[in-house]
């Protein structure tokens, strides 16, 4: 690999984010199963090697879609996060940290929190001519898996298949995505996990330059802020291979611009480390946006972290799932949605009718995560306004947003009481929860299959009652 510039080092950090090596894999607690090695895209969000995806959590439904890929399964453009975590489906050549692979032979290791009876595991890889800047679709991947392992109808954690040894096609080099699909035998679904890889092998020895980190800029900085690329050797921070910058202008603080400046600083101060994007000839040059950090083996560098010193990131609050219309039954409505923040906030949600009268209210803390909100309202049909306000601990308003919506009277329409007629439940089916007049609607594909997954002893998807009912139903 050719270099672009020669090169030297600063200060401790208050917040660490992004750009680490591919070690230190987290233990997640809630997913039914996930690819631990090599680590999948969502795990690297948890580990902060992928940034700008703090909203990603791991409920049991994460990456769980209908079986049958590529003819069935998740929708094009939503292969990874689906409707629950759309950030995971963002796709560009420099959006995600890539796991370096120095050989075509690979071992896949899954961890399971619910070791379902298993039909098979399959591994698909992107085509040679795939477009890394286009949304991931079925056509992005080979139609047949390069590796398939028979589950034999046994539990997933059966000792007979602890790891899966596979061979990536020899004609795949550089940036690719591997889609691991775990198809279970006791539900109609499968688990889908994406691994972003950089295949650094040419049929010969390991590459001279290894990927050891990345600069993924997903926040703007202010004048006077400082950023340090903290190098780690043998688990300890190394000042020798670290580099830092100070933001000198507002323009320089733009996320793509400071990432470019930091990559240039690394190249100007280091000989055994280089940062940028690699072209077809192997040249590495800094870009305005995400940059990969490479190191020669003799440096001993195993990873990098970004350290920020200065002003905290600007606060944000996003509303998800606010529908334009909600059902009004006997003068009562339930407005359900979710709130995502990057700061600890006390969030209030108030519903006003057309005369600006308050008809619903809810308040709860949201601590740098995504939380579901439910506002119970007593009102009449017609136009309403939902106002959501986020305040800090001093009761100062940080952010506020409004959404227009309509309440539509449903009268005394007769719905079946769950689980009456369960075999016929499809997307859009509405039912009463048992023992109430609360109405729930079966979610659209690929979640509609959950609506039928119920027995007297398996109730996790029962509307309003089961531990995971929100994976299958919307409350109306």
pLDDT, position 278: 80
pLDDT, position 462: 92
pLDDT, position 275: 95
pLDDT in tens, the chain (476 residues): 544 443 333 333 333 333 333 333 333 333 466 788 898 988 888 777 777 777 776 544 467 888 999 988 888 999 998 877 888 888 887 788 888 888 888 999 988 877 788 999 999 999 998 998 888 999 999 999 999 999 888 887 777 667 899 999 988 888 899 999 999 888 888 889 999 998 877 544 456 788 888 888 877 888 999 999 999 997 789 999 999 999 999 999 988 999 999 999 999 999 999 999 887 677 889 999 889 899 988 899 988 888 888 876 677 788 888 888 888 887 888 999 988 888 888 999 999 998 888 999 999 998 878 888 999 999 988 999 999 998 877 666 667 888 889 998 875 556 888 998 898 898 889 998 887 778 899 998 878 888 998 888 888 899 988 888 888 898 87
Q: Which domains does the chain have, with CATH numbers?
A: 33-199 (2.70.50.50), 216-309 (3.30.70.2150), 317-409 (2.60.40.2550), 422-475 (no CATH)
Q: What's the Cα-to-Cα distance from 277 to each of 31, 157, 263, 270, 451, rounded to whole Å?
A: 33, 39, 10, 16, 46
Contact 226, 248 (CB under 8 A): no
DSSP letter for each residue of 350-400: EEE-TT--EEEEEEEEEESSEEEEEEEEE--SEEEEEEEEEE-TT--EEEE
Rounded Cα–Cα distance for residues 393 and 181 (Å): 44
Angle ∠(417,421,423) on CA atoms, nearest 5 = 135
pLDDT, position 395: 67
Contact 45, 76 (CB under 8 A): no
Q: How many residues does the chain have?
A: 476
Per-residue DSSP letter, 312: P
From the list 195, 72, 81, 179, the residue with the least C-alpha distance to 125 is 179
Rounded Cα–Cα distance for residues 278 and 33 (Å): 34
**CB under 8 Å to 234, separation ≥6 — which residues?**
300, 302
């Amino acid at each position: 690999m050719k270099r672009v510039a020669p090169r030297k080092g600063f200060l401790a950090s208050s917040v660490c984010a992004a750009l680490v090596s591919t070690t230190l894999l987290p233990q997640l607690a809630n997913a039914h199963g996930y690819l631990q090695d090599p680590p999948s895209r969502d795990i690297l969000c948890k580990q902060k090697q992928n940034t700008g995806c703090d909203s990603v959590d791991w409920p049991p439904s994460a990456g769980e879609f209908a079986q049958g890929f590529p003819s069935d399964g998740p929708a094009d453009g939503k292969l990874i996060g689906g409707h629950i975590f759309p950030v995971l489906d963002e796709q560009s050549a420099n959006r995600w940290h890539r796991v370096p692979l120095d050989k075509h032979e690979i071992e896949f290791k899954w961890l399971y929190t619910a070791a379902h009876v298993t039909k098979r595991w399959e591994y698909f890889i992107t085509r040679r001519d795939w477009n890394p800047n286009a949304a991931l679709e079925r056509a992005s991947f080979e139609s047949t898996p390069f590796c398939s392992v028979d589950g034999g109808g046994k539990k997933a954690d059966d000792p007979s298949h602890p790891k899966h040894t596979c061979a990536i096609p020899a004609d795949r080099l550089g940036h690719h995505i591997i889609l691991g699909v775990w198809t279970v035998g006791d539900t109609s679904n499968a688990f889908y996990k994406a691994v972003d890889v950089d295949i650094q092998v040419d049929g010969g020895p390991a590459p001279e330059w290894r990927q050891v980190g990345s600069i993924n800029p997903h926040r703007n900085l202010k004048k006077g802020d400082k950023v340090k690329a903290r190098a780690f050797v043998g688990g300890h921070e190394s000042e020798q291979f670290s580099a830092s910058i100070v933001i000198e202008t507002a323009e320089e603080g733009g996320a793509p611009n400071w990432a470019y400046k930091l990559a240039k600083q690394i190249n100007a101060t280091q000989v055994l480390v280089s940062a940028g994007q690699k072209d077809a000839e192997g040249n590495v040059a800094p870009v305005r946006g995400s940059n990969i950090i490479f190191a020669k083996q003799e440096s001993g560098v195993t990873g990098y972290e970004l350290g920020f010193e200065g002003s905290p990131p600007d606060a944000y609050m996003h509303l998800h799932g606010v529908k334009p219309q909600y059902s009004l039954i006997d003068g009562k409505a339930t407005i359900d949605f979710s709130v995502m923040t990057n700061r600890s906030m006390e969030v209030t949600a108030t519903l006003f009718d057309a005369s600006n009268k308050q008809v619903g209210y809810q308040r709860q803390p949201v601590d740098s995560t995504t939380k579901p909100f439910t506002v119970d309202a007593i009102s009449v049909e017609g136009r309403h306004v939902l106002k959501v306000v986020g305040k800090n601990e001093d009761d100062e308003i940080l952010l506020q947003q409004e959404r227009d919506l309509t309440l539509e009277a449903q009268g005394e329409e007769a719905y079946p009481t769950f689980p009456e007629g369960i075999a016929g439940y499809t997307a859009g089916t509405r039912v009463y929860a048992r023992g109430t007049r609360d109405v729930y609607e079966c979610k659209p594909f690929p979640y509609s299959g959950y609506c039928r997954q119920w027995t007297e002893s398996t109730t996790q998807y029962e509307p309003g009652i089961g531990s995971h009912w929100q994976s299958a139903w919307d409350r109306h």
